[in-house]
Amino acid sequence: MDRFPEHIGSNEVRPVTVVEDIHRMTVDEYVHIVRDLGWESTELVEGVVYDVSPSYGLHTRTVMHVFRQIDALVARDTAFNVGSVLLSPRTLVDPDVYVVTNADVVTDLAATPGSAVILAVEVSVTTPAHDRGPKLIAYAKAGVPEVWLIDPRPEVGELVRHRDPDGASYRTVDRFTVGENATDLDVAAMLEH
């Protein structure tokens, strides 16, 4: 017996891919659903809702360590460690840390436009496949000039730096050892290059 029969009666049957069954929503639809249903810990990437794991100590300590270093080096009020960034009409993400060209673009009642983001930092403890896959592609498509993916686990302790967006990827990718919680990360040296 065939796994996917060509015909059953007079109706033609064919395999269905997951992509065909996805309703890709807009950011506006997503925001309404989040408000109406009280969803927490989700992001919208290319119209698909992804669950985001709760943050525990390793993630939180790393985010705060990286944020404090970046914030000390960039102009006042341009580094943020909370907030939503609108990358496209179908992509709304919450980077762990991000830097904008002008703090005035961060307003009270709207997401920060992705076009203003010059650096996005994602700390990946439990979501590396999401951060290094669809989310990184979305950042590249939106033209975010630089994205840091940090894995702070003791056995990894790595930062993967993506620069020079080109379509759905980045032309320049560098790896750095940063230690557990990124305590060996020299943000000043990174931002100089």
**Is the full-model pTM beyond 0.75?**
yes
* Model confidence band, residue 193 (pLDDT cutoffs 50, 70, 90): low
- Domains of the chain by residue range: 53-192
> Which CATH superfamily hosts domain 53-192?
tt1808, chain A (3.90.1570.10)
User: What local confidence, expressed as pLDDT, does residue 3 receive?
Assistant: 45
* Model confidence band, residue 1 (pLDDT cutoffs 50, 70, 90): very low
Which of 46-50, 63-67, 161-165, 187-191 has the highest mean predicted lDDT (pLDDT)?
161-165
Strand partners, 120: 98, 147
For residue 158, the SS3 value is strand
Letter for the amino acid at 133? G
Contact by Cβ (8 Å): 140, 162: yes
User: What local confidence, expressed as pLDDT, does residue 8 receive?
Assistant: 43
Q: Select from 83, 95, 103, 135 the least CA-distant residue to 119.
A: 95
Looking at residues 60-89, what average pLDDT do you find? 90
pLDDT digits (tens, 9 = 90+) for 135-170: 999 999 999 999 999 999 889 999 999 999 999 999
